[in-house]
Each structure stands twice: as structure tokens, then as C-alpha cells.
Amino acid sequence: MNGAYHDVRGVENHTSARTNCDDLPSLAQSLTSPPYISSSSGRQLLALLPSSNRSFLPHAKKRNSDFLEVMATLISQNVVPKDKSEKPKRKALDGPSPFDSVQETEDSKISDSVKPKKKKRERKENKEAETEQEMEMKKLENVLFGSLYPVGFGKDSEEIEDGNDGSALFFTDRSANSVLSVYEEDAVKGEIVGADDNTERKPVWVDEEEQKVNINIAKVNRLRKMRKEENERIISGSEYVSRLRAQHVKLNPNTEWARFDSRAKNDTSDSDSDQENGDIDTIFQTSEDLVVKGRSKLLPGILEYTRLVDANAQDPSNGPINSVQFHRNGQLLLTGGLDKKLRFFQIDGKRNTKIQTIFVDDCPIRKASFTPDGSQVILSGRRKFFYSFDLVKAKTDKIGPLVGREEKSLESFEISPDSKTIAFLGNEGYILLVSTKTKELIGTLKMNGTARALTFANGGQQLLTTGGDGQIYHWDLRTMTCFHKGVDEGCITGTALTTTPTGNIFAAGSDSGIVNIYNRDEFLGGNKRPVKTIENLTTKIDFMKFSSDAQILAICSSMKKNSMKLVHIPSFTVFSNWPPANRALQYPRCLDFSPGGGMMAMGNAAGHVLLYKLNHYQHA
């Protein structure tokens, strides 16, 4: 039966046998046994018979062997090979046959079995495409960077790749033996190339072709200079390279610093000069400035400065600025003017942010100043009282009038460097001394003429005053006495007075615009001649100020536009490029230098505080 089923399936697969079979009636007569007719294969075969020939079925009786022989001969005679003949078209039957339904089920099974085969075939094609792409990439890499495998002449690269079945992944580069030997010797010795200056440095790369090439140096005119003997003609490539190097060193002797072995010689022979001039190598290893200008001497002639954003740009004053001063930290700046407002700004040179504004209702500010310790601000006007603002507690106190005094104006004052005493200019040549702590009057000093200006010296233990009589008084505050009085040369009425932080030099200004600079020790010793007389201004001197390092003296007059000069103290000459040519200063009224000297703020009558950076100084 298995053979019968197999033969019937053969008939199913080759449906062309249905039209070419002439002995189907005789074959049908052999299908009389019930097993054949009841089987699915027999039913399929019966469907092939015409209706006129199906009457022979009841009379057909054969054995199983006859059935197998008939089916074999039927298949062998009538089935035509697929590749030699075209498959005939099936004629449509009047009604659906059971063989068609069976064939559809079989086709669906075959299609289901074909799907995984298609997937495998697609995977295989994808792998082949990837391998081809990899081969193309390898060929491209070989063209660009050279082949990793030694390719012989006359051989194709594909043949070589086919021959290298994994073993060619590791190969020996014969051409690099000389290079590898250099590192191998160093590794065996355990030394680092260049660690010892006396050892000869070995080349990193050696060209073997130099030994094989011969060069005729007598043939080329420009190479004849490298001959050691007159009859010498041909030399090797390595000898040619060494002679070229020697010729280069001979023509360029200044490049000896680039040689590694020359450093040791320079260290031993020029050790003294290196100590004097500094180590050159350390200079090029840092990005810092080669010339540090922090505490160096300021040169006369031209002052290098940069105009920055106005210090009070965020809140300009509506009236003239009478006071400008930096805090001891160099970042806080106060401004005060006739608009009755005391403003504080954080100075950075870019934004200059306003921190706080204090409005004093009953006192237009004539002067405001930090105490040297930075804890308070003293401000005053043409009133018989003054104000004290505590920076720590943010509290304002009104002080005065002073007990026993009838002064109607306390607009001019100075604070001692030790922050203990406040000295006010009073009426009829009196100087009023007030304690910074208790805000009470602790003493008075009396001049012969009117008091116009004063300044402290010697750490707050001495006081210098000047006024209407044109003389300069020196007071000892410990004994409350005047220990020296001298005439200011050429002065009729003194209007301004200032000293350096050390107190060894002081400057006195008059109403005629003359500024005399004195050496204080010489002045006290009896030499009344000034060291230098500045005659650049022609109107009354209203304000003077020394920088923190006493290298610059600023003098200004509020009665004339741009009437301000900066004096170089070591040479006692005026900077030629100040004031600026664009007349931006307007009417200057006050000025101050930052503690580090890097900033200079100047207030004018227009209510602006101009800010400048002095490029010589590194810190504000």
C-alpha cells in the first residue's frame, strides 16, 4: 500500500498524465477491491475517469501486484520531464472536483513549507552581500593605507586573500627588524632614551634604502662642497645624509638650542648667567605676564589708562558730585552730592551695580567719607550737625550741634588714619576735634588766620592745617600744641592740603592755582623751599589726592572745565596725555584712587562719576 500511495502522489504531481492515458478503462477495472476504492488515492484516480468509462468499475478485479505494475508503467510512459515540455493548461471542469480541493490543501502546505526556505535564502543572500561589502572595504583600505599582507608581483589580491585562511592575521614585518632592535635593546638594558644626556640618542626610524643607494657627489655642482677628498665621487646614502646634517649645522649655528645634548653644556657653562637672567625654560612654560607691573616704578611721560563704565551709571546724581571714595576693600564706592542722596556701588568696571541709596532729608551732602577701618560713613553739609551711618547695623545717627560751639557749617572735615578722631574746620581759624567713638567734642585748635584745609600725618598723631594767612601749621594732637609753622612759598591763601600715606611728602595748593610739593622732613628742618612747584592750573585748587603708593598726585579745580592734572611724583612731572582730549571731565569736583591703585574715580558737576582703570597697576 505504501508503494501505491507513492505512485498516486506521483500522478497528482504530474497532472499531464490525465490527457495522455488511453488505458484508463482497463486500469479502472482492476480497482474492484474495496480497499482501493475506499482509499483517498483511489477516489482521486476515479475523478480522472470520464463518466462513460466509470461503468467498468464493478467488473474489474485485480490483485495488488497488478495495480503496482500498471501504475509504474503509467507514470514511466506518460509523465514528461518538466524541463523538456511545457505544462499544459488544465481545462476547466463543469463542477468542482474533489481532486482540486485536495490539491489546494497540498499547495497550501507546500507554500507554508516554502516560507522558511525563502527566509533562509534571503539570509544567505544578505550574508553574501555583507561579505562582498567587507571585501570592498578591505580593498579600499589597502589602496589608501597599504596592504596588511605582503602581495607579490603578478598576483591578484583576491587570490592572496583566498589563500590566507586565518594564518595571515599574524605575520612578521621583515622590513622593521632594524627599528624593533632599537627598542629591544633599550628594554633589555632597562634604560630610557634621553634619560642620560651623555648617552648617544638612537634614531627612532632607519631607512634601509639609504644603505643601498649610491650618490655621485662630484656630478652635481652644489654637492661638490661635501667632498672630503678631491677625487671622491660616489658615497653611500647614509654617508650622504650625515654630511648633509653636518653642512646644515655649519650653516645654521644658532639652532644649537634645539639639540637635547646642548642643554647639559649650557647648564654647566652658563650657570652664572642663568641665575642672573632667570631660567629661560620656565618662562615659556607659563602663560603669565613676562613683565609684572604690580609694585614696579611708574614711568613718567604718558599714563596708560582705560575708560570704564561710569561708576554711578545705574543711578546718576541729579546734582553735582561733592564726594567720591573707595572702601578699603576696593570694591565698594560711595558717592554724595547736593541731591541729598548717599549712594553705594559695587565696582567691577562692567556693570557697577548699585547696592543702596540713603536719602538725607535735611542735609545736602558737601562731604562724605569712610572711616579708615571701614565701619562707618561720616557725612556733612552746611549745617551745624552731621550724620554717621553705621555700615554694620545699617543705622543712621544725627549728631550735633556740638556742645559749646556756634559753627553753622561743618561741611569740611578729615578723619585720622587710626579712625579715632574727626577734625572739622570751624569759624575764625578754629579746628574742632571730635571723637569717632562717642561723637563728642574732645578738643579745639586755633590758627592765626581762617582755616581752609587740613590733613593728618604720622598715623593720626599729627595734623597739618593752612588758611587765610598763607602759612602751614604742624600740630601735635597728643599735646594739642603747634610745634611748627612755616610760610607756603608764593601763597597768599591756602585752599588745599594733602600728604602721602607715609607722611614724608605733602602738597599745598593755593587760590592762584599754584601747587607746592614739599619734603616734610626738610620743611620741618628749616628748608622752606618746595621740591617742585606745579603751575599747570590757573584757578583755585579745590581738591588734591595722592595715590596709595604715592606715585601719582591728582590736583583739580572746579572753576574751569577739564581743569585737572596728574603729577608723576618720582620725577615731579605732569602726564602729557591727561586730561583726555575730548573734554569728558566737565567740571571736576572730587577724586579718589582705589586702595590698590588700579582704579580712579572722578566726580563732576554734571552728576557723573567717571571711572578709569590705570593699566600700570594689577589690582584695584
Residues 6 or more apart whose Cβ sits within 8 Å of residue 516: 488, 489, 490, 491, 507, 508, 530, 532, 533, 534
Query: Which among 332, 385, 391 has a CA at the least distance from the CA of 360?
Result: 385
| Three cell numbers written together for 277 | 637672567
**Cis-peptide, bond into residue 401, ω within 30° of zero:** yes
pLDDT digits (tens, 9 = 90+) for 123-177: 888 888 888 888 888 887 776 665 544 444 444 444 444 444 444 444 445 444 4
Say what the pLDDT of residue 85 is.
41
3-state DSSP assignment of residue 182: helix
Say what the pLDDT of residue 259 is.
63
Whether 534 contacts 517, CB under 8 Å: yes
Distance CA 73, CA 68 (A): 9
| Three cell numbers written together for 134 | 567587507
3-state DSSP assignment of residue 572: coil
Say what the pLDDT of residue 134 is.
86
pLDDT-wise least confident of 237-246, 277-286, 486-495: 277-286
Say what the pLDDT of residue 265 is.
52
Round the average pLDDT of the chain to a whole number and report it. Answer: 77
pLDDT digits (tens, 9 = 90+) for 303-318: 999 999 999 999 999 9
| Beta carbons within 10 angstroms of residue 182's beta carbon | 15
The residue-averaged pLDDT of 224-247 equals: 87
| Beta carbons within 10 angstroms of residue 56's beta carbon | 18
pLDDT-wise least confident of 32-36, 225-229, 463-467: 32-36
3-state DSSP assignment of residue 429: helix
pLDDT digits (tens, 9 = 90+) for 253-303: 766 666 655 555 555 555 555 555 555 666 666 666 555 544 578 999 999
DSSP code string of 304-361: -EEE---TTTTS--SS-EEEEEE-TTSSEEEEEETTSEEEEEE--SSS-EEEEEEE-T
pLDDT over 60 at 4, yes or no: no
Give Dmax over CA atoms of the chain in angstroms: 170
pLDDT digits (tens, 9 = 90+) for 561-607: 999 999 999 999 999 999 998 878 999 999 999 999 999 999 999 99
Say what the pLDDT of residue 252 is.
79
